[in-house]
Amino acid sequence: AASAVPLHAALSGKVALVTGAARGIGAATAERLAQEGARVVCLDVPALADALKETAARVGGDALALDVTSPDAPVTLVAALRAGSGGVDIVVHNAGITRDRTLAKMTPEQWEQVLAVNLAAIVAIDEALLGTGALRDEGRLVYLSSISGVSGNFGQTNYATSKAALVGYVAALAPRLAARGICANAVAPGFIETAMVAKMPLMTREVGRRLNSLSQGGQPRDVAELVTFLSSPGAHGVTGNTVRVCGQGLI
Ligand code: NAI
C-alpha cells in the first residue's frame, strides 16, 4: 500500500478548509494536508459533530459543524475563516451524498437533494470565498467529482449529473482565477472503500473494485495523495482539469 511520503512540508503556513471531513475521503485528506504542515479547518454536518471533533483533534485543526446547504452557510463560513486566520489558501469541496435509484423510480426530492449538496452548495460557497477575497491569491480549489460523473453509473443519474457538472465547472472557472494564481481542479475517484460505498449492493462494490486501477479496493488515502498534490504550490501549472484516481478500468 502507498505510504504517505511528505512533500517536504509543502503546505507549511497554509490554511485549508475540507468539507465532509468527519470521515472517509475528507478525513483522510484533512490528515494528509496537516502532515504537510497546513492548518486544517474541518467542516461537516452538526449530526456528525463528535466524529468531526475527533478528526480536527487528530490533525490539530479546527472543527466547524455546518450544513453546506443551509442558506447562511457561505456567510457563516467566511466569517469563521476570517476570524480564524484571516482567510483560506486551500479549499477541498469534498462533502457529497448519493440518493441512488433507477431513473424511473427517482423522485424529484432525490434529484434536488443530490444537486443541492454536490453542486449548488459548492457554487454558493465559492461565490462567497471569491467575492469577499477570503480565498487568498495563489489559492487552490479542489473538487470531488467521481468516475460516475465521467463514465456514468447505473442507478446514479442524479449523482452522475452532479459530478459531471463539476468537470465543466472547473474548466470554466479556472481561466477566471489564473490572474490571481489560483488553481481549480477536480479529482474523479473510482470506488473507494468508505461509508458511501458500504451501503451499495455487494455485486456493485465487487465490480467497482475490479475497475480499480490498483486492482484492489481504493482507499481514502489514495485520493488524499492526489488532492494534496493539487493543493500544493508545485501544482501551480495544473488548473481546469479533472484527474482520475483509482478508476482506470482494468476489465
Ligand atoms: P462519506 O459519506 O463517507 O463522507 C462524506 C461526508 O460529507 C460525510 O461526513 C457527510 O456528513 C458529509 N456531508 C454530506 N452532506 C453534507 C452537508 N450538507 N454539509 C456538510 N457535510 C456534508 O463519503 P466519501 O466516500 O468519503 O466521499 C467523499 C466525496 O468523494 C463525496 O463527494 C463523494 O461523492 C466523492 N466520491 C466518493 C467515491 C467513493 O467511492 N467513496 C468515489 C468518487 C467520489
Domains contained in the chain, CATH given: 15-245 (3.40.50.720)
Q: Is the pTM of this model over 0.90?
A: yes
Nearest Cα residue to 95 out of 179, 196, 172? 196
Please say whether the beta carbons of 119 and 166 come within 8 A. yes
Compute, in angstroms, the gap from residue 94 CA to the centroid of ligand 1: 6
Q: Is any ligand 1 atom within 6 A of the Cβ of residue 195?
A: yes
Which region holds residue 224: left if phi is over 0, alpha if psi is between -120 and 50, else beta? Answer: alpha
- Give the pLDDT mean for 71-95: 97
| Structure confidence at residue 88 (pLDDT) | 98
Q: Which region among 31-40, 60-69, 122-131, 199-208 has the lowest average model confidence (pLDDT)?
A: 199-208
> Residues 220-246: pLDDT tens digits?
999 999 999 999 999 999 999 999 999
| CA-121 nearest atom, ligand 1 | 18
Compute, in angstroms, the gap from residue 132 CA to the centroid of ligand 1: 26
> Residues 145-177: pLDDT tens digits?
999 999 998 899 999 999 999 999 999 999 999
Which region holds residue 133: left if phi is over 0, alpha if psi is between -120 and 50, else beta? Answer: left
| CA-98 nearest atom, ligand 1 | 34
Q: Is any ligand 1 atom within 6 A of the Cβ of residue 96?
A: yes
Residue of 50, 194, 200 best suited for mutating to test ligand 1, as the one with most atoms within 8 Å of CB = 194
* Residue 5: pLDDT over 70: no
| CA-190 nearest atom, ligand 1 | 42
Distance linking the first and last C-alpha atoms of the chain: 21
How much of the chain exceeds pLDDT 70, in percent? 95
Please say whether the beta carbons of 18 and 33 come within 8 A. yes
| Structure confidence at residue 2 (pLDDT) | 54
- Name the CA radius of gyration of the chain, rounded: 17
pLDDT category, 251, cuts 50, 70, 90?
A: very low
